[in-house]
Amino acid sequence: MKKQTLNQDWIATASTLSNALPFLQRYENATVVIKLGGHAMGSDEAMASFARDVVLLSQVGVNPVVVHGGGPMINEMLGKLGVTSDFVNGKRVTDAETIKVVEMVLAGVVNKRIVQAINRQGGMAVGLSGKDAKLITCDQTDPALGYVGTPVALNTKVLTTLFDQNMIPVIAPLGAGREGETFNINGDTAAGAVAAALNADRLLLLTDVSGVKDGAGTVITELTPDEIRSLIQDGVIAGGMIPKTETALDAIEQGVRAVVILDGRAPNAVLLELFTEHGAGTLIRPVRAPGA
């Protein structure tokens, strides 16, 4: 007869699952949009861990949507092809030659890598770009930037249809212009627009920093829109964090219940944020929780 001795790891695992129950119930049938930044994709092992988290969300009744970036991969491919870029106010000018490379990398290599990783973990992911099924219609952001677009209309029917079939949309941040042009969209902007159109419960911005930090470099666990505006005005929020927090403000203004900026390189970052009491990163919502 076999005898089994319970060890502390098993007990901790069972306790973690039990403690997660209220959060599992909280997010049942909720829509969670996850922006996976290019810098947060990391190694194959990190991608597999992220994919397991997404599949678990789907298995417990959440409707996850992944919107990805790919800036480092675009830069690498442009370098290999010898395509040079001009910049206006720090932003890349996307000309006719560059947009071809952008589409090839985002809708091809990067998108399919994420789809394959999720499917390998037992999920049913479907790769899309904003050009598919008129998902994202864009206007040109600035003529000086070329083929860079700002979302102006979204058709979410394709996404809700995939939800009904328990499939996971993985969206490359490209859109179509009113005349059929291809536009590159900032990944955070695309994710915010998708989250707003779906009236998402959460928008998770996975990046390569642990959250919004105060002047001493400590991560701020919770912020309101007014507090973010004050930190931007005071120069505490600066650089690349400004567009991320502005995306959060726009998403909340358009009906997203809350936005979280967190380090996508941390193991199980998505699960820590959604299914534990302490969460991860910086939670941004209209009203601070009582006692916070």
The C-alpha atoms of residue 130 and residue 155 are separated, in whole angstroms, by: 9
Tokens of 260: 């979280």
Instruction: Indicate the CATH number of 31-284 among 1.10.460.10, 3.40.1160.10, 3.90.1150.10, 1.10.3720.10.
Output: 3.40.1160.10
Q: Which pLDDT belongs to residue 292?
A: 46
Q: Which pLDDT belongs to residue 287?
A: 72
Residues annotated as catalytic are 35, 38, 71, 188, 244
Q: Which pLDDT belongs to residue 85?
A: 79
Q: Which pLDDT belongs to residue 117?
A: 96
Domain boundaries, the chain: 31-284
Q: Which pLDDT belongs to residue 23?
A: 61
> H or E segment at 126?
strand 125-129
Quickly count helices (H) and strands (E) in the chain. 10, 14
Q: Which pLDDT belongs to residue 246?
A: 92
238 Cβ partners below 8 Å, 6+ apart?
232
Per-10-residue mean pLDDT for the chain, 292 residues long? 56 60 70 86 86 92 94 90 80 88 94 96 96 96 94 96 96 95 95 96 90 89 93 89 91 93 86 78 79 46
Q: Enter the DSSP assignment of 89.
A: T
Handedness of CA 187, 190, 195, 196 (dihedral sign): positive
Tokens of 285: 């919502």
How far CA 21 is from CA of 18, 104, 111, 228, in Å, comes to: 6, 42, 32, 32
pTM for this entry: 0.89
Q: What is the residue-wise DSSP string for 7-73?
A: -HHHHHHHHHHHHHHHHHHHTTT-EEEEEE-GGG--SHHHHHHHHHHHHHHHHTT-EEEEEE--HHH
